[in-house]
Each structure stands twice: as structure tokens, then as C-alpha cells.
Structure 1
Amino acid sequence: MLLVSLAHLVSHVYILALPPLFPFLRDGLQVGFVELGFALTIFNVVSAVAQAPIGFLVDRIGAQRVLAAGLALGGLALLSIGLVGTYAWLLVGAALAGLANGVFHPADYALISAGIPKAQLGRAFSLHTFAGYLGTAIAPAVLIGLALLGGPGLALCVVGLAGVLLVGFILPMRVPTTQDQTSGQRSAAGSQGATDRSVFTPAIISLTIFFTLLSFSNGAIQNFSVAALVSGYGVTLTQANGVLTAFLMLSAFGVLVGGFLADRTRRHGDVAAAAFALTALLTLLVAVADLGAVTLTLVLGTAGFLSGVIAPSRDMMVQAAAPSGGSGRTFGIVSTGFNVGGAIGPLLFGWILDHGAPRWVFGAAVGFMLLTVVVALRDRWSACGKNGARVQAE
């Protein structure tokens, strides 16, 4: 758990390695923010396309080797961007980093599913997600601090080298193999066509939509709340960053609480729906009311905590939908929803801000949250219907 969670932390640092350096890269590469933003689009598109095939690869050759390869490729991609220092190679490096990013969710979740008893799986998922949130929280400070010391090239080289060095700990680690995983891999080798079909179920398609909606609403707050608060709420940049920090930090602690909840109930869809409905209510308050900086911090901090609570239940829903021996490809498929939201969401919320409607950043986030609640409840109702039909058949 320590090594897999550390790899997840590093993966989130990889994801946020470029955006904090944009002011440095703009001057150094003599390009605009649109050109720099295009690198992030490439990253997300490549990651979205690669994630599902990598999930199948995880189930076929093993998660440990794939995870090590992803860490190495992501680290070398950032290292090369720092060393080459041209815009053309920035785009190439972003594509390589996007390919590497497609590794982490399928490989990490397959390793956790194989090595952790089911009774502790919710808490294991919560620790894994907490590590990712921690990586998100520390990445800007680490990258900007290193850039101030020696420039953006040094910052990217240090982060890339750290990921490559972690490979030396991932490769020799001992990974327990469950009987379920072994039989699943044997089945994949013997009848690949059947297992390929089994993973594309209505439940998994619904969960992919669920992940996409989560990406839209969380991305609205994480990426655009500061700009929206400054332009539409009369708060300072420092205060707005404080509000966002409260949201992110309390989200991380909400994940840990959510892990204990996930291990104490099988009604994961209900937990996710209830927590996100409350999150939507608090976000709606921000959208329609005139709140001061302190109140905004309390309200969005609480919303962040509740949004973090659902993460382990979300992962348990995916695990429950996965076919035998198919955790890697299942998490690979549903995680493409994050990349879809990451590619489309910024265009939508940037358009909202460009049209002078900052409160609608939160209003649109509420809409996506409510759709997420509907999807979670729909999965719950579908599961109840199938269970009832099974009981009648018996």
C-alpha cells in the first residue's frame, strides 16, 4: 500500500508538473497561454485514449510491470522536457506523459484489489486516493519552489528523476496474488474474446459517465473557482486561494473518512448520492448568495470534505462491477471519464468566465453534481432490481 500510494502521489505531481510553470515557460519558450494549454489538451486526449487498452494490458501481463513502466515513462517525459527546452518537444513530452498517466489507475487498483482483503478494501482505496490528493496539494509549491531556485528546466528534471528512481522500489516489491486474479488471468489467456465482451457492461458504461460528471464538477471548483471568486464575489486573490486550499485539504481528509464508511456498508451508491447531494446544496449556496471570505471558506471547505467522502465508495462501486480478474481493464475504462471531463470541462468553464458569468461556474457545477446523484441512484435501483429478480428466480 505504501509503494502503490507513493506511486499515485507521484502521478498527481506529474499531472500538475506543467501548469504551475506556465508563467516561466511562456517567457522561456516565447509562446502564449493558448499554446501552453494545448499541451494539456494533448496530455488529456492521449491519456483518455490509452487508459482502457492499458487496463487490458494490466490484466494480461501484470500490474506491477505496467506500473513501473508508467512511472519510468512519465519521469523520462518530464526530464526530457526540462532538458530539451523547446515548444515542439513540450508537445511530444506532454503526449508521452499522457500515455504514462493512463497506467496509474488500472495498475494501482489492480494491485490493491489483489493484495488487500475485501473487508479492508474501502480504507485501502481511501489511502490511495488520499495520496493522490496530497500529490495535487504539494505539486504547485514544489514545482514553483524549484523553478525559482534554478528555472523550470531544473524543476521538471528533479520531479522526473524522482519518479524514475521510484521504479527501483516498485519492481522488486512482493505482490500477493489472489485466487480470483489468477483464475481471471487464466481465463483471459484462454478466451480473450469472452472477457473483452464481459467488461463492457451497462454498469461499467454507467460508471464511466459517473466519473465524467465528477470530473466536470470537481474540475469547475479546482481549476476555476479562484478566478470566479475574484471576479464575481469581491474577494482578493489571496482569500480566493485560501478558499480553494480549504476545499482541497478537507477533500483529502474526507477521503479518509469515506474509507471507513465504505468498509461498513454495501450501499456505496447511496453513500455517494447522499454525500454529493449535500455537496450540491452547499455549492448552490455559493452560486446564489453573497457570502464573505470566511463564510465562503467554511461552505466550500465543507463541500470539499463531502466530495472527498464519496471517493472510496465510488471505487468500491467500480470494484463490484468488475468481472473476475478484470480490475485493471475495468478501472482503465471508467477512469477515461476523468480525461473526458479534463479535456472538455476547461473549455466550458472558460467560456462561462469569458462571458462575464462567474457565478455560473458554481451553478454549472451544481448541475453536474445533481446529474452525478441521479447516476449513482440509478445504479442503486438497477442493482436492487437485479437482486429482486434473482431472488424470484431462486
Structure 2
Amino acid sequence: MREEKPLLSRRADTEAVDGSPHPHLGSERPAGTTRLLLLVSLAHLVSHVYILALPPLFPFLRDGLQVGFVELGLALTIFNVVSAVAQAPIGFLVDRIGAQRVLAAGLGLGGLAFLSIGLVGTYAWLLVGSALAGLANGAFHPADYALLSAGIPKARLGRAFSLHTFAGYLGTAIAPAVLIGLALLAGPGWALGAVGLTGILLVAFILPMRVPTAQEQAPAQRSSANSPGAAGRSVFTPAIISLTVFFALLSFSNGAIQNFSVASLVSGYGVTLTQANAALTAFLMLSAIGVLVGGLLADRTRRHGDVAASAFALTALLTLLVAVADLGAVTLMLVLGVAGFLSGVIAPSRDMMVQAAAPPGGSGRTFGIVSTGFNIGGAIGPLLFGWILDHGAPRWVFGAAAGFMMLTVVVALRDRWTAHGKSGAGAPAE
């Protein structure tokens, strides 16, 4: 009896007759894949600029709108809540009307939202515009991943996911400098307007884009995907629910380091602000490099869950080392840099796990559902880690992050253990 493969890896693990790790089907590069990857990655970059468009301008907006930081923070809360609520329904919409249209709509709506905030210049409209931008933000992950899953050959999909993720990292990195620079040159209204116009301009390239068909489906899968009611069934499977938890745990641990490590290091480790920021910079920069390396690795293995679990287990150990040991500034930067690299490596394998769990014709709603895990972690995590710092336990920021990382490892391995149990109990092999 052949061993049953884990549910998270089954559809990604199809093996060719000659024994190579990827089937010949879909391994050729259809015309237009490079343009598809470039435009979708640019859209992802812009979406991350949208996410960070307001925070760098808070000092300008506070003076211009005559409000406090709490009122400005409410705009971010509205953005994230609307995005969290909208993301899964938009995923269903992607599978129903097409990812290309939804991506263009998200870019255009987000662009109009920030352009209007800059033009209107009132606090009331800031809140309305933030809600519109949050709705637009819900379109990007479902549409992006559906386009890449359909248009990029399976043998290159891991690298495509890694470049897409790297573009998002790049957008996060450049947004503060771009927004502050434009605000200093022409004012915050012009800065927001320029960001909005950039997104609107990109729509003109997204809409006429020809999406290649790289992934062929078997006749039974094609019939299932096109059958009545296909858009609404086979979504809340154990694999997809497990992946949503996986994404939430990732958000908890990464958010702890990205948002609270500097405050923790300064208050509890005798580290200067400059040294703490250098350590965080090392973590973030090497995370981006790790994403690219992880893409190469994801295309050379079928065991994406094992890759994610192994890399994140090592990340947890390094993070735990930071929590319990007194490291010098240079050693601290090296340890967090390696931890960042390993945390980046898992991203493409993580995305391949989601793509493998998606039902036929259901990439949009699958990515829409699991990506809400990021919103869950992003909403709860800051409260938890802020509470830890307020209670004078800065080392527990890294200790709790390591704990969430180990839970992430358990979730990544759980499906493989379940599959082994079923196979040993006499379950039919796939």
C-alpha cells in the first residue's frame, strides 16, 4: 500500500512519469508569463505602499486636520477591520468574475481613496477614505495569487510566489521615505494624491493584460470547477482552516519582532536605540533575501510543509536564544538576521501549501480565507505584546514570539501526522 500524501501537499506533489519532482504538464513557459509576474508583483508593491500611506504622514495630518493621534489611529483601525471582513467575500468574487477584474478594481478603488483623501482634506473623509482603501486592500491577495496560480507553470510557481512576496517587502521598505519626501516637497495632500494616481495608472496596464493559461486541469477537475455551485463548495476544509490558523500564528510571531522588538530591546536588554534598530533592520533585510532563496527551494522540493516547519523551528530556537541570553550588540544583530532569513525562506512554501489545498477553480476564495489569518494576528497581536511590555516583561516579547513559532511548526506538521495515521489505519492510498 502506498503512503498517503498530506492534504496540504497533494495537489502540489504530482510526480512525473520519469520520476522528476514536477510534471511535464505546465512546465513550459507560455507567452506572457513574465509580463504577468511583473504586473502582479507591481500591484503587490503598490498595495503595500497603500497600507503604509497614512502612518508616515501622521505628524503632517495631525497639524493639518487638528486632530490627535488617537483619531488618526482610528483611520488605521477602520482600514484593517474593513479589509479583514472583505477579504474572504472578495475571494469568492475572484473565482466568480475573474481575478484580473478584481485586481484592477482594487488598484483603482485604493488609488481613488487616497487621491480623494488628499483632495478633500477633512477628518471625516479621512475615515471614509480609509474604509474604501480597506475594501480595496481585501482584493489583492485573492486576486494576485489566483492570477499567479493559473498563469505561472507549476515548475516555476515557487519562484513566482517569492518574487511577488519580495515586491510587497519592497513596497513596505520604500513607502515611508517616498511619502515623507513627497510631503516635505509638496505637502501631505500631494503625497497621497501621487500614491493614488500611481495605482490608477497601473490599472491601465492590468486590464488589457493577457493572462496565459499555464495550469491544465484533468477533465474531472475541469468539470468539477465549472459545475453549478462550484464557487461555493469545498472551501472550509480542514486543510484551509488549518492554513488560516497557520497564517494567524505567523502574524503573531512576525508582528512581535517587527513592531515590538525595538522597544523590548531598549527597555530590557541595555541596548541603545541605534543598536536595536540595526538588529531589526538586519531581520527585515535578510527576510527579503530569504524569500528569494525560499522561492528557489520551493521549486526544488515537494515537501513544502516540511520546509516551512524546519525553517520556522530554527527561527524559534534563535528567537528563544534572544529571549533568554544576554547577547552583545553584534551577536544580537547576527542572530536576528539569521532568524529573519529563515522566516523569509518559508514564505514561498507557505504559499505553495495554500495553492495545493485550493479546490479546482477556487484559488481566489482559498487565498482570501487563509489571508484573514494575517488580519486576525494583526488585530490581536499588538494588544498582547503591548500588554507584555506594559507589565515590565520585555524578554517575554521574544519568548512569546518563539512560542507562537513552535505552534506554527506544529500546525505545519499536523497534516502530515494525520495522513500517516490514516495510511497506517488502512485508509485507501491516493
Query: Could you tell me the TM-score, scaled by structure 1's length?
Result: 0.94
3-state SS, counterpart of residue 174 of structure 1 = coil
Higher helix share: 1
Instruction: Give, in whole Å, the separation in 2 of the partners of 1:18 and 1:379.
Output: 40
Would the aligned equivalents of 2:231 and 2:361 in 1 still touch at CA under 8 Å? no
Shift of 1:236: 2.7
- 1:299 pairs, out of 325, 329, 335, with 335
Report the counterpart of residue 68 of structure 2 in structure 1. Answer: 32
Shift of 1:272: 0.6
Q: Per-residue CA shift, 1:23-81, capped at 9, x if unaligned?
A: 22223223222222222221111111111111111111111011000001111111111
Q: Per-residue CA shift, 1:77-132, capped at 9, x if unaligned?
A: 11111222222221111111111111111101110011111111111111111111
Aligned AA (2:315): T
3-state SS, counterpart of residue 139 of structure 2 = helix
Shift of 1:190: 3.8
Instruction: Give, in whole Å, the separation in 1 of the partners of 2:240 and 2:151.
Output: 23
Structure with higher Rg: it is 2
Distance 1:322 1:387, change over 3 A: farther
Q: Which runs of 5+ in 1 are unaligned?
A: none
**Identical amino acids, percent of aligned pairs:** 87
Report the counterpart of residue 281 of structure 1 in structure 2. Answer: 317
1:343 lines up with 2:379 in the alignment: yes
- 2:118 pairs, out of 71, 82, 92, with 82
3-state SS, counterpart of residue 264 of structure 1 = coil
1:154 lines up with 2:182 in the alignment: no
State the superposition RMSD in angstroms: 2.0
Report the counterpart of residue 212 of structure 2 in structure 1. Answer: 176
1:354 lines up with 2:390 in the alignment: yes
Would the aligned equivalents of 2:41 and 2:167 in 1 still touch at CA under 8 Å? yes
Instruction: Give, in whole Å, the separation in 1 of the partners of 2:270 and 2:188.
Output: 33
3-state SS, counterpart of residue 79 of structure 2 = helix
Distance 1:293 1:21, change over 3 A: farther
Instruction: Give, in whole Å, the separation in 2 of the partners of 1:134 and 1:383.
Output: 38
Shift of 1:375: 0.5
Instruction: Give, in whole Å, the separation in 2 of the partners of 1:118 and 1:56.
Output: 23
Would the aligned equivalents of 1:199 and 1:323 in 2 still touch at CA under 8 Å? yes
Report the counterpart of residue 200 of structure 2 in structure 1. Answer: 164
Distance 1:387 1:328, change over 3 A: farther
Q: How does 1:72-111 map to 2 (within 5 A)?
A: 72-111=108-147
Shift of 1:341: 1.0
Report the counterpart of residue 34 of structure 2 in structure 1. Answer: none
1:377 lines up with 2:426 in the alignment: no
Report the counterpart of residue 144 of structure 1 in structure 2. Answer: 180
1:220 lines up with 2:220 in the alignment: no
1:316 lines up with 2:352 in the alignment: yes
Distance 1:223 1:385, change over 3 A: same
Aligned AA (2:217): D
Report the counterpart of residue 44 of structure 2 in structure 1. Answer: 8
Shift of 1:356: 2.4
Distance 1:325 1:181, change over 3 A: farther
- Report the count of equivalent residues: 393
Would the aligned equivalents of 2:308 and 2:346 in 1 still touch at CA under 8 Å? yes
- 1:235 pairs, out of 271, 283, 293, with 271
Shift of 1:185: 8.1
Distance 1:200 1:259, change over 3 A: same
Distance 1:142 1:182, change over 3 A: farther
3-state SS, counterpart of residue 180 of structure 1 = coil
Q: Which runs of 5+ in 2 are unaligned?
A: 1-36
Instruction: Give, in whole Å, the separation in 2 of the partners of 1:30 and 1:347.
Output: 27
Instruction: Give, in whole Å, the separation in 1 of the partners of 2:124 and 2:419.
Output: 49
